[in-house]
Amino acid sequence: MYIVHSTFKVPEEKAAEVIEIYKNRSRRVDKAEGFIDFRLLQNAKRKGELTVQLEWHSKEHYLTWVRSQEFKEIHELEKKYPDQELASVIPEVHQYEVVAT
């Protein structure tokens, strides 16, 4: 299994807005081959710190998604978000290979 975390920080007063965006996400990634699960995590102490967690069957499945046209389209839409402060957020991405369960 392969897990990817994309962590980003937004002003705490905008965290609820971002959470709503993710609750209403397109779910296009859910249909990608090898996709297992999506979670949006909120830091318990720093409410403006959010992490998107994606679980994949393999690194190859994840890389196929990242190279796909759908991935590019979704991320282009994010850049056009009306709130430029949120549109300009750049996540810190960490990738993990599951080695024991």
Inter-residue contact 1 to 36 (CB < 8 Å): yes
Each residue's pLDDT tens digit, 9-33: 999 999 999 999 999 998 999 999 9
What gap in Å lies between CA 53 and CA 34, rounded to an integer? 15
Each residue's pLDDT tens digit, 55-83: 999 999 999 999 999 999 887 777 667 77
Inter-residue contact 49 to 42 (CB < 8 Å): yes
Q: Domains in the chain, ordered, with CATH?
A: 2-97 (3.30.70.100)
Percent of the chain at pLDDT exceeding 90: 79
Looking at residue 56, what is its pLDDT? 98
What is the 8-class DSSP label of residue 75? Answer: H
Average pLDDT, the chain: 93
**Residues 6+ positions from 82 with CB-CB distance below 8 Å:** none
